[in-house]
Structure 1
């Protein structure tokens, strides 16, 4: 084994290529089983969910073999959203939850995410311990302690029933026409069911997975498909999810897109007015727009920023007791309802705001005027570090000086792909493009 296994959201890579091989999945399962069976007692449980990628079958079986070999009893949920795994891990009193998904990545990728018994993603420290066990000799269980595996047929149904409880009691969605884009992913059955059972006129999109089409031209990474469907059907709004349904974007009745910042602004102001926003604060990452920060300040609220990654948002929320946070990309974390981002439940909260206020989606998705923001990605060779070169650092320093007091520059490496993300914000869009393009050119030359 070479290199670090865990990134910002579990282990991820191209299927059948290190580290997303059956062999590594087996070792990860065995290592996680050994980590969670340190007290040697029998009866340990792990729940496993997955999205709709073809490689999910391979990884599910390999993980099951590894886990049962160290004495864990495995409960197989089949295709369910990532937040359903967090919920069912806690609900079923499991010691561990695992989601097999590469989220918004293309079908050839896959990933493995771990949840603790409290339903929250594992800490960096726990992942480091599991990684150490993977690298060493993993002691198998004695023959009489080998675990069992069982398929849970109603896992999706349990999550559907829970999701409905997060919508205000006594309210229904009668009269709402909703496009729900499931990205041919994990929520392809659960999300339309929830909306239909709450009374909405549902127009499903991205609900025909074939193992290869997850996120392909649909979902939150391709919101234009949902926008077109909203216009064509005269829908009140569109809810577009990613492959594992832990992120969401909203499309208004005119086909306009609202990202996670606008959704968080709406929820923060509503919850604060209702006395529900703990600590008068919202937690978001360094990627969130300055306009969101100014909006919150205008409402007497604070924005606390973290590193990129919903896990770091959740860690800060738990540390300080906050109950709302998320990412511009659409991870909306509401710890009153879920232990991780939940695109469907966030969509239900948006619908509740529409029902309560009587306002159209177009009014609710325009909470603040964003400061012009530009983000470009530069692919580099894994193992290299263009950002460490003096000539690149010099260009970045000059850009920061140019925007001092009127904007900001943020450069970071992706935690899931060999990409360098170059982002800047500035009121002057010409300057914004010059700054970003200059940095991108320097990084491309170095890469």
Structure 2
């Protein structure tokens, strides 16, 4: 991680570290890095979006870069617009699933993939040196506005086709997905019931789509006798799913099901996931001719893995899916259409979910100041290796230790001042025992750091 960029671009509390002044400099740095060309800029629904967008656009224009402002747009729409308008980069002003006081700046390549850490490091160097490109008055970039939503929906309808109509409850979380996802589902021929679809910037639920935050979605699916519930975070790069019985389908299960469906649809191949994904995925897809390859946490690592391995599909157990046959941008909206196609071809979600092995997954977040993370991880690595009897070690992103029937991942968050523990075991008792020991290791390491 650099001074500004974490695992998912820049993400900070607005008017503390993330100010209009910083957004202006990021615009100048990106324009300098590109040396001209065209950039797409979109925002999510946060109250700070317009302020930061206008500052960033000013910076880009000052370097001679043309800007197409696509307004309030889900992250996947930015990725789509880059290709549609043949741009040289895209920027989304978003903090994804973070609370409303946060915002962020994420930069995208022409192929729809997020900027790599190497590219972000180059932007950081320009930012730090402030050696920005300046152009004459008659070479300042041109600003135009566009709305690619219609083209985006039309293109998905060319790929996804349903034989039957379904009742879909859609919870957009008052985010940017409100402006696209319900309309796509309706165009697919479904009856759509929308929740939290007013893009006000004031979020009425936690933005991360999980079992707790989607309680109302689950209740609505049950009451309305709907076929499925679909939810997004603030910028709709993620998907959360509720089955036809009103049960939240765990991330590991949806990731396994959709990976299996992609293998059925496109043939045998590799599935890319991250080090925090459990054994269920391997166990479910291997009989279908799939092979799991694990990479660092973050959509850019998944996208790079997809390209490197020529993979069929890639996804994180956070509801972030990348469908390479569509785009290399994480797309919760396309993912929603794909879930409906899977139901259409294979049957009700509640029945499909029974086919996926269930293990006990536990997660914990432990507060840790950013400046202590590096030292704390060194201590955790030393202590974890002594405290647990393990068979395999993966250290591409934090530390993951594995045994035949459990694994634990210790990892510093790239977006928040916390240390994350993720683990999985075959029994609840074993998971609880591992979590207790893991927390002790992390808390002691943070104290000593």
TM-score (norm 1): 0.91
1:139 aligns with: 133
2:255 matched residue in structure 1: 264
Shift of 1:210: 1.8
Counterpart check, 1:438 vs 2:437:
yes
1:342 is matched with which residue? Answer: 331
Residue equivalent to 2:352: 364
2:28 is aligned with 1:34: no
Contact 1:292 1:370 in 2 (8 A): no
Corresponding residue for residue 90 of structure 1: 83
Aligned equivalent of 2:170: 180
Match of 1:373 in 2: 361
Q: 1: CA distance between counterparts of 2:353 and 2:404? A: 28
Q: Does 1:422 align with 2:421?
A: yes
For residues 18-97 of structure 1, what are the structure 2 equivalents within 5 Å?
Answer: 18=17, 20-37=18-35, 44-97=37-90
Identify the residue that residue 313 of structure 2 maps to in structure 1.
Answer: 324
Q: How far off is 1:25 after superposition?
A: 0.5
- CA distance 1:265–1:428, change in 2 (3 Å): closer
State whether residues 310 and 341 of structure 1, in contact with CA within 8 Å, keep that contact through their aligned partners in structure 2.
yes
User: How far did 1:139 drift?
Assistant: 2.8
Kept in 2: contact 1:164–1:198 (CA 8 A) = yes
Deviations along 1:32-90, one digit per CA (max 9) or x if unpaired, are 001111xx6xxx21110110000101110000110000011111111111111111101
Q: What is the aligned partner in structure 2 of residue 312 from structure 1?
A: 301
1:6-17 map, 5 Å: 6-17=5-16
Alignment-derived partner of residue 156 in structure 2: 163
User: What is the aligned partner in structure 2 of residue 118 from structure 1?
Assistant: 111
2:399 corresponds in structure 1 to none
Q: Answer yes or no: is 1:236 the counterpart of 2:227.
A: yes
Aligned to 1:198: 188
Describe the SS at the equivalent of 1:239: strand
Contact 1:172–1:198 (CA under 8 A) maintained in structure 2:
no
Are the equivalent residues in 1 in contact too, given 2:74–2:236 (CA < 8 A)?
yes
Q: 1:427 to 1:78 in 2, by over 3 A?
A: same
Aligned counterparts of 2:310 and 2:194: Cα–Cα separation in 1: 36
Cα distance in 2, alignment partners of residues 244 and 439 from structure 1: 33
Contact preservation (8 Å) 1:414, 1:420: yes
* Counterpart secondary structure, 1:294: helix
Distance 1:342 1:389 in 2: 35
In structure 2, the CA distance between the partners of 1:367 and 1:79, relative to structure 1 (3 Å rule), is farther
Distance, in Å, in 2 between the alignment partners of 1:177 and 1:219 is 23
> 1:107·1:212 contact (CA, 8 Å) conserved in 2?
yes
Q: 1:269 to 1:439 in 2, by over 3 A?
A: closer
Give a deviation string over 1:140-197, Cα, whole Å, max 9, x none.
Answer: 1111111121221x222222222322312xx3552x1100111100110211111112
1:396 positional shift:
5.6
Secondary structure of 2:79's aligned partner: helix
In 1, Cα distance between the equivalents of 2:231 and 2:250?
11
3-state secondary structure, aligned to 1:384: helix
Distance 1:234 1:391, change over 3 A: closer
What is the rounded CA distance, in whole Å, between the counterparts of 1:219 and 1:268 in structure 2? 21
Distance in 2 (CA, whole Å) between partners of 1:390 and 1:304 is 28
Contact 1:83 1:339 in 2 (8 A): no
SS at match of 1:105: coil
Structure 2 alignment gaps of length 5 or more = 392-401
> Would you say how many aligned residue pairs link Structure 1 and Structure 2?
432
Q: Is the 8 A contact 2:167 2:192 kept in 1?
A: yes
Whether 2:280 is the aligned partner of 1:291: answer: yes
The 1:29–1:391 alpha-carbon spacing in structure 2 relative to 1, beyond 3 Å, is closer
Task: Give me the whole-angstrom Cα distance separating, in 1, the residues matched to 2:132 and 2:403.
Answer: 52
The 3 A distance-change label for structure 1 pair 201 and 218 is farther
